[in-house]
Structure 1
Amino acid sequence: MKPSSPLVLLLGLSVLLLGVSTQGRAAPKWLVGQSDGFVVYSNDSARATRGVVEELRDARSLFEKLFPSFGARRSIPIRVVVCSGSSTIKTFSRLYEDKPTTFGGLFFNDFEGPTIIINTSGDWEFTRQTVYHEYIHYLTSHTNRYLPPWLSEGLAELFSTIEPRTDGRIEVGNPVPYGAQTYQENKPIPFERFFTVTRYSPEYNSRKHGRGQFYAQSWLLLHYLKFGETDLPETALGALVKRALLDGIVTETTLQETLGMDYDQLGRELDRYSRRGTFLRRIYELSQEERHFELDLRRASEGEVNLLIGSLLLYNRGPSEAYSKLAYAAQQLPDSPLAHAYQGYHALRQDQPEYALESFGKAVELGSESPHTLVAYVRSWIKVHDPSGSISRNLITKEDTSILLGHLFKARQIAGAFDKGLYQQIGAVWLRSKVEPNDKHMGALSEGLSVFPEDDLTAYYLALYFERAERYPEAKAMVDRYYPHSVSGEALQAYRKLDQRLVTRLAAKDGSGS
């Protein structure tokens, strides 16, 4: 007999527990509202909530003013959760030695996108730097272009120490703790290596191999170019950033053309700059238009609160902890695509793809515009119809291919290159379809690799396409970019098998003289 759907079980549980919830204690008082790029939940006062969101909004406005290359508005809003104290934080925070943790601020990417949690009665000042570092990563993540790590981390570090002032202005340029000291006490990374570091490089991942030095050097370079007392024009940093975005890499020629310096000259300048001991700060004032902000807050329903807490528990503690909260949300918000989507994420965490597909399908039927939900629907569909992960041809009919790709390209239209999972699922559909893909179809995967060049799964699908088209040299070149140095786990085994097949087929082709 087919087991009952988790959705049905959750609803049953919610009916049993509803009396306890409503009669035993009142639900916490939460506010909810939306503003330009923010979805806000708060159990603090409306005034304190607006102050927090205004600070985030002002930081975003200033960042986009100073770095207009990143000025496009995000189509995926950021969720801001404002908590009035540690007791609230402990209801959904991660556990350490079976006890809830607490913090002043936290940034993470939830199933449906980025989330910032701020404890207004905690040490927000202490954690602001970490939160703003990740916040800047969010602001730079939707350019549809690849940001090399030196630029991505340099911008995040540079802006992580901003100081909002009581007069509404913002101070930028405060040094990161131990940044200059770290740079001085360690051997600088040679620039021919520094500008080519990837997220797989030991300098980026390992403290033993200079991770702290890489961050320090990235911050120092951008601080020098933006705030240093130099003879460089004001546009120098902007010109270098523009070239890095266009070319994806910085060479010595790039430096000479944008800064008028070679590697050695830039190294001497940074060494001198790090030893000065003082770093200039600048104070910026935003215009009324740049500071314009409206945030209408209302009392959140019990269903909205349950969905919020349940989603946070699902991410931080797992499906068992989130079970009852998501049950209430499913019952109380039957027409909410988001409530059904989180049922899907819950089912995926429980390794129940059939029920995940049912839930995501309901969210889509209700008109979900969430790119994450659309991609998750396709991922669940493939898990259900190809449970072994065989990537067999002719598995997906022409009609289903059109439907699945329609969801994926809708997500792409809404949010652009928002996540590498989008391109992975495009590849997953095409390589299983009865419709024979061509280079035009595979162009989406090439686009994905231009934005996420370290995405070994999308690269694997593209290499598999080349193999099936008997374009073995192109397939082998793609495999060699990633195998064995940049893949691990199940991907390592898949790459190994593909590489062995390609070596055999290339040898046979050479032997035949063709």
Structure 2
Amino acid sequence: MSRIIALLLLFLSVLTASASSPSWVEVQSPHFTLITDAGEKQGVHVLDQLERMRWVFKTLFPTSNVDPAAPIFVIATKNKKDFSTLEPEAYLAKGQINLAGLFLNTIDKNYILLRLDAEGEQHPFAIIYHEYTHLQLSKASDWLPLWLNEGLAEFFQNTDIHDKDVQLGEPSMDDLLYLRQNRIIPLPTLIKVDATSPYYHEEQKGSIFYAESWALTHYIEISDRQNNTHHLSDYAERLSRHEDPVTAAQEAFGDLNQLQKALESYITQSGFHFFHMSSASAPIDDASFKVKPLTQPEADAIRADFLACEQRTKDSRALLDSVLKEDPNNVLAHETMGYLEFASGNLPAAQKWYEQAVKLDSQSYLAQYYYAAISLSTGSGDDAQIESSLRAAIKLNPEFAPSYDQLASFYGMRREKLSQAHILNSQAISLDPGEMRYRLNAANILLEEVKPDDALRVLKQALSVAKTPEDAAKVQQRINEIEQDQTARNQASQQAAARAASQPFVPAREVSTPPKHPTEEPHGPKHLAKGIIHNVECNGASEIELKVEGSGPAVSLYTNDYMKVDFTAANFTRQEKFIPAKTWRG
């Protein structure tokens, strides 16, 4: 291993010494795009490593789609000085961790930042391979338990990729040392750890959780290979059918007490096996990689976009100003300016930047998406143009989940094409199962279709895959709202039926006062009213009148039965005794 590192470092030093020019090049492989200031050969080498890692996953999981919907961009800097212009500000202070790379995931792209002069690292690509593994596992996040998700990421991060072979699963000496010095977590507890568990968030408990997840994954992987068994794949198969993780473990691995004893013994042994794969036949042809020089504004636009995604806003804006001064038609610079304005809450400015980006390049799916999303959020823009832009974004990148979700929300807000909206939401969830927003929106569409039971089913499924306590709390709150709303409606219906049954028969000639408002079913075109609710007046048992006052003329609304009105709002829980005149105003 040390020989390989020494050769790699020698190779890097020769390249960086010869690349004294600050010019940047772009290298495109079939599945990655890289920019670097270390020269063409170094850029090709890095992408060769990443393409081989992708080949490892494709070989190990041949039926899986190993390519994410959002593109993967790599920025490889030749030294620490260049790296520091892009790394998170938290790591710039003296005494902080010396980063060699990081993986940055956003809703519309994935960034890998690498420092090519990192020295003394046994596995210089470890953090990249770790996060790349999570990216590969993201579509299984709705059924994969955290211990296995993190265990596999820890397992693959210690991968060494050479020209003609790959070493997988080398032991983690840091994890082994930590486990030998601390009591391990009982396996039933480890297997049940979820996003709300202190074992996933508290530093000391988290450390043992990660280390033990690696050790258990490593033990089962090696045991399966040595004994020609398939316990781990059996376990994954049961999980994919949404079996309880502990029950599935007992069925796949046997007695968990015996497994724990075997794991404890495994941790203390002196030697460990790992996997060896021949990559000589990997269909990776470096000569096919496309290389082109970048102008400084082109490179700076990419670097500015990374800084924006990393929330180094001031540095990003400064770089963008210089880019647009030299290249006023740089599409990425317009997109990134739109993103910065959007993040700062200046939606009109963001909309303007994205609109200009669309005009400069109608083939930019991100510009199309964000222009439509912001227009929808602000209530500006033409409905036909918004729908057209979202459909264009889907056509340009069918794997980009937010476009489907946004178009579904567009239909849901207008209460039209709801069946199509449901299909769009389902597609968004299938593309990104871990995004809670898509599942919450899917539930809202089902409520619009008056399918509360189906909405609850979607939300309870979402609750089982929530990754953070905050996500779990949001989903649980929505479940509580719907269940309490159903309870209130059922009670009101029962009370109305009881009152009707207790009232004496009234002859036809003694007709009571007719309802104040028309009673026919709503008909005609549907409209969207945005504003603040005022002048809420309740008349009789269930009649209600109100006004919605916004930027345009006030809109008056009424109903003879407010219990038939679906009302939802953030941080709102419908109470059993629900009085709109007190609740809805404002």
TM-score normalised per structure 1: 0.77
Q: Residue 117 of structure 2: SS of its match in structure 1?
A: coil
Worse-matched range after superposition: 259-268 or 96-105: 96-105
Give RMSD over aligned pairs.
Answer: 3.9
Q: Give the Cα separation in 2 of the matches to 1:488 and 1:250.
A: 18
Give the structure, 1 or 2, with the largest relative contact order (CA under 8 Å, sep 6 or more).
Answer: 1
User: What is the deviation of 1:423?
Assistant: 6.0
Name the residue aligned to 1:128.
Answer: 125
Conserved? CA contact 2:138–2:433, under 8 Å:
no
User: Does the CA-based 8 Å contact 1:128-1:160 persist in structure 2?
Assistant: yes
Instruction: Describe the superposition over 1:137-163 as per-residue Cα deviations: whole angstroms up to 9, x where unpaired.
Output: 223335797544233212211010112
Q: Distance in 2 between matches of 1:198 and 1:400?
A: 42
Structure 2 distance, partners of 1:474, 1:511, is 26
1:359 and 2:353 matched: yes
Q: Distance between the aligned counterparts of 2:84 and 2:295, measured in 1?
A: 21
Asked if 1:292 corresponds to 2:285, the answer is: yes
For the pair 1:410 / 2:395, whether they are aligned, the reply is yes
| Partner residue, 1:507 | 491
Task: Please give the alpha-carbon distance, in whole angstroms, between the structure 1 residues aligned to 2:23 and 2:359.
Answer: 31
Partner AA of 2:41 in structure 1: R
Task: Assess if the C-alpha contact under 8 Å between 1:303 and 1:329 holds in 2.
Answer: yes
User: What code does the residue aligned with 2:412 have?
Assistant: L
Gaps of 5+ in 1: 1-25, 387-394
Aligned to 1:228: 223
Q: Which residue of 2 aligns with 1:312?
A: 306
What is the letter of the counterpart of residue 336 of structure 2? Answer: Y
Equivalent residues in 2 for 1:30-429, closer than 5 Å:
30-96=24-90, 103-110=99-106, 112-123=108-119, 125=121, 127-141=124-138, 147-165=144-162, 168-183=164-179, 185-191=182-188, 193-207=189-203, 210-228=205-223, 232-233=227-228, 235-244=230-239, 246-249=240-243, 251=245, 254-255=248-249, 259=252, 261-293=254-286, 294-330=288-324, 332-333=326-327, 336-367=330-361, 372-385=366-379, 397=383, 399=384, 402-403=387-388, 405-407=390-392, 409-410=394-395, 414-415=398-399, 417=401, 421=402, 424-429=405-410
Question: Could you list the per-position Cα deviations for residues 407-427 of structure 1 after superposition, in whole angstroms to 9, with x for gaps in the alignment?
Answer: 46437x63265xxx5565345
Report the AA paired with residue 76 of structure 1. Answer: A
Count of aligned pairs: 470
Summarize the Cα distance change of 1:503–1:206 in structure 2 as closer, same or farther, 3 Å threshold.
farther
Distance 1:507 1:471, change over 3 A: farther
Code of the aligned partner of 1:65: T
> Which region of structure 1 is more displaced relative to structure 2, 354-363 or 122-131?
122-131
Aligned mates of 2:415, 2:447 — CA distance in 1: 17
The aligned residue for residue 445 of structure 1 is 425
Partner Cα distance (2:284, 2:36) in 1: 21
Shift of 1:304: 0.7
Residues 472, 506 of structure 1: 8 Å contact kept: no
Tell me which amino acid in the other structure corresponds to 1:504: A
Measured in 1, the distance between the counterparts of 2:443 and 2:495 equals 22
1:457 paired residue among 437, 446, 454: 437
Residue 300 of structure 1: how far off its partner (Å): 0.9
SS in 2 for 1:346: helix
| Counterpart-to-counterpart distance in 1, 2:472 and 2:35 | 39
Distance, in Å, in 2 between the alignment partners of 1:490 and 1:252 is 26
How many angstroms does 1:41 deviate by? Answer: 0.7
**Alignment partners' CA distance in 2, 1:319 and 1:159:** 33
1:199 deviation in Å? Answer: 3.0
- Measured against aligned partners, the alpha-carbon deviations of 1:444-503 in whole angstroms (never above 9, x if no partner) come to 434555676664433433443444444445555666775996548998987776665454
Percent identity (aligned): 20
Report SS of the residue matched to 2:99.
Answer: coil
TM-score, normalised via structure 2 length: 0.68
Kindly indicate whether the alpha-carbon contact (under 8 Å) linking 2:399 and 2:431 is maintained by their aligned counterparts in 1. no
**1:42 CA displacement:** 0.7
